[in-house]
Structure 1
Amino acid sequence: MNNLSILLFVLGLCMSNDVYGDKSYITVKNELNPKGNRLLMAYCKSKNNMVGPRYLKFEEVMIFGFKTNFWGTTEFWCVVKKGPDYKRYGRFTAYKAVKMFVTDDGTKYNWLARDDGIYFHKGNFPPYLKANWTT
């Protein structure tokens, strides 16, 4: 019985981070050429949540916080659309937990919509191309 109590206590501590820990963040920024007043439509989804759609002007940012679930199965995917009729779009996995017992630490997962594609960067690393526009 004593071992069971210890196990339940440890599991409770692990789960408390999921409830009370920091959040991580996903940002989507419109860096399309500002000529022509081009809007970017963006939305992100997980199994249980949806953020957007939002219409972003040049240099506007959509940002939202989330917590990785206890099992480490949290995943967000996003869609961004551009053009006068929003027929050109890009889809990408914005965040995917890779293991159980993930602790959120305030990390920002930054996505930049540019004319030549969708870029990703995290921390001090430079942005790199992750997705192309399709029709």
Structure 2
Amino acid sequence: MKNLSKFLFVFGLLCMISSDVQGDRSFITVKNELNPKDKAGPRLIMAYCKSKNNMIGPRYLKFEEIMIFGFKTNVWGTTEFWCVVKEGPHYNKRYGSFTAYKAKGLFVKDDGTKWNWSAKDDGFYFHKGNMPSLKLANWTMN
């Protein structure tokens, strides 16, 4: 019984700390930056993102439109979102997927940071804050 009391005390303490540590929300953005000057007409993308417990989308984005959503990282630092983007109009010929966010350890603090992703003609680019954009994923063809 004594060990159970200690466990419940520590668990309660961790829960209280987690609410302070998680403070603000973080955000993921996905932007359509495909070249709009295509002979076939406007180039739309369909984007959705998932975590273990959430599904965001699908959202259909025109050139320069942005999908944005906020989230909180769990206390255990296991929050992960992955996104799938498909190019229209048929949405089954060209697609890409990438890990949009992955927490790194216990008690990760959400601080309003935006994890920005862009769908471009040659792949998917990531940037955060003032860092330059990096190509981190490619399109896949069916």
TM-score (norm: length of structure 1): 0.90
- Distance in 2, Cα, partners of 1:133 & 1:65: 25
- Distance in 2, Cα, partners of 1:8 & 1:93: 30
What is the match of residue 114 of structure 2? 108
Structure 1 alignment gaps of length 5 or more:
none
- Distance in 1, Cα, partners of 2:70 & 2:14: 24
What is the match of residue 98 of structure 1? 104
Give structure 1 regions of 4+ aligned residues with deviation exceeding 6 angstroms: none
**Aligned residue type for 2:25:** K
TM-score (norm: length of structure 2): 0.85
CA RMSD in angstroms, aligned pairs only: 2.0
- Distance in 1, Cα, partners of 2:30 & 2:75: 25
Q: Give SS of 2:118's match.
A: strand
Whether contact under 8 Å (2:46, 2:88) holds in the other structure is no
Alignment partner of 1:57 is 2:59: no
Size of the aligned set, in residue pairs, is: 133
What is the match of residue 21 of structure 1? 23
Structure 2 alignment gaps of length 5 or more:
none
- Residue 7 and residue 83 in structure 1: after superposition, are their counterparts in 2 closer, same or farther (change >3 A)? closer
Q: Which residues in structure 2 correspond to 1:1-135 (within 5 Å)?
A: 7=10, 10-17=13-20, 21-35=23-37, 36-86=41-91, 87-135=93-141
